[in-house]
Structure 1
Amino acid sequence: MTDAADLADRVQDGDLRLYELEEHADHETAATARRLLVERETGADLSAVGQYAFDAADADANIENAIGGAQLPMGVVGPVEVDGGAAAGEYYLPLATTEGALLASVNRGLSAIRSAGGAQARVTKNGMTRAPVFRVQGIVEAKAVVEWVEENVDRLREAAESTTNHGELLDVEPYVVGDSVYLRFAYDTKDAMGMNMATIATGEACELVEDETPADLVALSGNLCSDKKPAAINAVQGRGRSVTADVELDRELVEERLGTTPEAIEEANTRKNLVGSAKAGSLGFNAHAANVVAAAFLATGQDAAQVVEGSNAITTIEERGDSLYASVSIASLEVGTVGGGTKLPTQAEALDVLGVRGGGDPAGSNADELAEIIAVGALAGELSLLAALASRHLSSAHEDLGR
């Protein structure tokens, strides 16, 4: 059996590269060897990094040059009743974060929502996108490519869907900028987040476009998708799942549980989330929706970089006399319950807490359910923070919790 220290020696001597270690030893030994090497080179103690709950081989699809695992505190908020298109019942929501007071704040919002009988939530749109960019000679060829695409969506669908047993091509939308043609493909990826699925399927469709038109593929992603970047197109058209959660709270409940009034929360939302965000040129018109999205993503094995799009949310508040109406609409929530990080042990257990691990019946229902629950969590976070701001309790709350 190959010794980890020997492997580390060979890397230091230049006989092996870091990424080659799994060719000479099992995954656990390879990870140990890399830790030894990094400890020697940097003087760091990686004993905590070396303690993790998964088999290194099982994470091979998730990481390269593995040295161990990163651990985050995970907590839980709830339970809260969710009346959704896919979600139905009471849920605890696991959240992983390093931000003290976050879960306490979300839980306060959920407590108010629970006292109101729960929240409603619906996925209103679904479509994971990939937008390749093609080169043409000029606008005449560009127009010809657009016309061909519009007339041959069925052929593009057949090509794209030949690469997957689950994904469905929903639409192809062309955009022209000079001698560049962008085709924004949108897919129903069912219970997978689906970025890889969409990329592979689009690659197959691009070959057909090149065979049948004057267009030459420049890049499989032309940034009109738009993945892991702030983008107005995602705010308007959505990406992944577009989901809204809302609730109506009695005035007495607002005053008792949130320590303020519907009028004060409405004013804080208007001046902060709407006017302030507009003045800042923000693509997110919310208080901190990304806080809950990020914590839920880390807990359940989602692609953490897509929190960028998950922050693309609008919070609305309306005082209705004897009650307060509140909603959060997240335009681009990219979640899945199969594939990627959802297979890792702690993330899989968090999905089990929610009851959504694996593929749903019908396909896509588990990912819809997860999206609706996260949206309710974000709504709770918005209510709690806006109430804290309206009552001027934000700094004292952090002070009291020692954060």
Structure 2
Amino acid sequence: MDTDALVDAVRDGELRLHELEAHADADTAAAARRRIVADAADTSLETVGEYAFPADDAEPNIENMVGAAQVPMGVVGPLAVDGDAIDGEPYLPLATTEGALVASVNRGCASMTAAGGATARVLKNAMTRAPVFRVAGVAEASETAAWVRDNVESLASAAEATTSHGELRDVTPYVVGDNVFLRFAYDTKDAMGMNMATIATEAACEVVEAETPAELVALSGNLCSDKKPAAVNSVEGRGRTVAADVVLPGSVVEEYFGTTPAAIAEANTRKNLVGSAKAGSLGFNAHAANTVAAAFLATGQDIAQVVEGANAITTADVRDGDLYASLTLASLEVGTVGGGTKLPTQAEALDVVGVRGGGDPAGSNADALAEAIATAALGGELSLLGALASNHLASAHEELGR
């Protein structure tokens, strides 16, 4: 069917919007859907329809496609960083609509380059899924938890049979009355791994039900915890736990930020530590989520997981007249295969970093991406703290017309 026929079929009630791909190619279906929506809203979706990839490429990522949302993309870098996985000094694409963000992050990255570069390391890799089970009471809960602790290898065999890449690292039981939560933690290699962890955990749950009194209620019991602020992710981590740090000489701080190491350290303590504690925040940082979100948009990550990406602590101290600064992100969930990373624009962005697809060894590309994001986010922290310490925040936005 052509576009006109699809539009008529929907308007006559013969087809629903989500059924169009069964009667035409994906681009024709999107064009028909776009016309129906535009006419209903009495508007134009001309720009929405100007996407630069076959709609077929997006079928695993979207339903009822009408086009694409185009977000401006810039780059920061090159990132001078000593990492375990990162190779060379790559640029990092950032997609955002927030004026001054890329300029600010880039200023921070430039200051780190002038100081000889930053250091970054992935400290932990564990994607989690935590099902909740029903038991009769605490006696059965204790029995179930004990069995799980003694039989992690059996659960690993069942879970890993569902995937050629994922590895079960640990299962931690949590008991609340007649509820038993099991927090499964996986090494998902270069995949972000949420779907992998879910499918693997489902298989392991069948073993738990067969061997214990527990009955599965929900495959996700929110102790994972996915796409929600959660202290468990701040403490235990989820996805990649990654840290970056740098020592900036006092002269570099003065040149790039117009202030002193002591002033930045004080601003960090009073704002990021004391202020965040008073607010009851889970993130003790200036705006790490800004860089994380922009990097996620650019490189095809699950954008909603910026919630966990904001689980970060920034520290700053004066060392012999120089500034030591660090940023530790407890739960940065990134991948270089699967999901949105396959989309053409996002795949090109991953090529810029040099981490598209699976790494050798497996997991190294996702580690490198995590190190790059952490380094850039540290640059963003330094730049904002510098602007605050020098009272330049408002004037910088005014100067850039934001």
So what's the TM-score if we normalise by structure 2? 0.99
Counterpart position of 1:139: 138
Question: 1:288-327 alignment to 2 at 5 Å?
Answer: 288-327=287-326
Name the residue aligned to 2:5. 6
Contact 2:79 2:372 in 1 (8 A): no
Distance in 1, Cα, partners of 2:85 & 2:149: 33
What is the DSSP-based 3-state SS (H/G/I as helix, E as strand, rest coil) of the residue aligned with 1:89?
coil
Q: CA deviation at 1:87?
A: 1.2
Which runs of structure 1 show a deviation greater than 3 angstroms over 4 or more consecutive aligned residues? none
* Cα contact 2:79–2:376 (8 A) shared by 1: no
Mapping 1:131-170, distance limit 5 Å:
131-170=130-169
Report the AA paired with residue 225 of structure 2.
Answer: S
- Using structure 1 for the length normalisation, give the TM-score: 0.99
1:230 corresponds to which residue? 229
Q: Say whether the 8 Å CA contact 1:85–1:121 is kept in structure 2.
A: yes
- How far has the Cα of 1:256 moved from its partner? 1.3
Q: Could you list the per-position Cα deviations for residues 181-228 of structure 1 after superposition, in whole angstroms to 9, with x for gaps in the alignment? A: 000000000000000000000001011111111111110000000000
Alignment partner, residue 178 of structure 1: 177
> 2:11, 2:306 → 1: CA distance?
38
Partner of 2:200: 201
Whether the aligned pair in 2 keeps the contact of 1:5 and 1:36 (CA below 8 Å) is no
**How far 1:81 moved relative to its partner?**
1.1
Q: 1:78 Cα shift?
A: 0.9
Match of 1:91 in 2: 90
Flag structure 1 segments of 5+ consecutive residues without an equivalent.
Answer: none
Amino acid at match of 1:345: P
Q: 1:127 touches 1:186 (CA, 8 Å); kept in 2?
A: yes
CA distance in structure 2 between the partners assigned to 1:257 and 1:74 by the alignment? 24
Q: Secondary structure at the match of 1:389?
A: helix
| Secondary structure, aligned partner of 2:255 | helix
Q: Sequence identity of aligned pairs in percent? A: 73
Give the letter aligned to residue 372 of structure 1.
E
Secondary structure of the equivalent of 1:129? Answer: strand
Q: How many residues align?
A: 402
Matching of residue 282 in structure 1 with residue 289 in structure 2: no
Structure 1 residues 111-131: Cα deviation after superposition (integer angstroms, max 9, x where no partner) = 110001110000001100000
Aligned mates of 1:88, 1:69 — CA distance in 2? 32
Q: Is the 8 A contact 1:385 1:394 kept in 2?
A: yes
1:69 is paired with a residue of what secondary structure? Answer: coil
Partner of 1:40: 39
- CA drift of 1:80 comes to 2.2
1:245-293 superposed Cα distances (whole Å, 9 cap, x missing partner): 0000101111111110001000100000000000000000000000000
- In the other structure, the counterpart of 1:210 is 209
Separation of aligned partners in 2, 1:183 and 1:152: 13
**Matching residue's letter, 1:66:** M
Quote the offset at 1:321 in angstroms.
Answer: 2.4
Task: State how far apart, in whole Å, the 2-side matches of 1:22 and 1:53 are.
Answer: 19
RMSD between superposed Cα atoms in Å: 0.7
Asked whether the equivalents of residues 131 and 216 of structure 2 are also in contact (C-alpha less than 8 Å), the reply is yes
Distance 1:215 1:5 in 2: 55
The letter for the 2-side match of 1:5 is D
* CA–CA separation in structure 1 for the residues paired with 2:255 and 2:27: 54
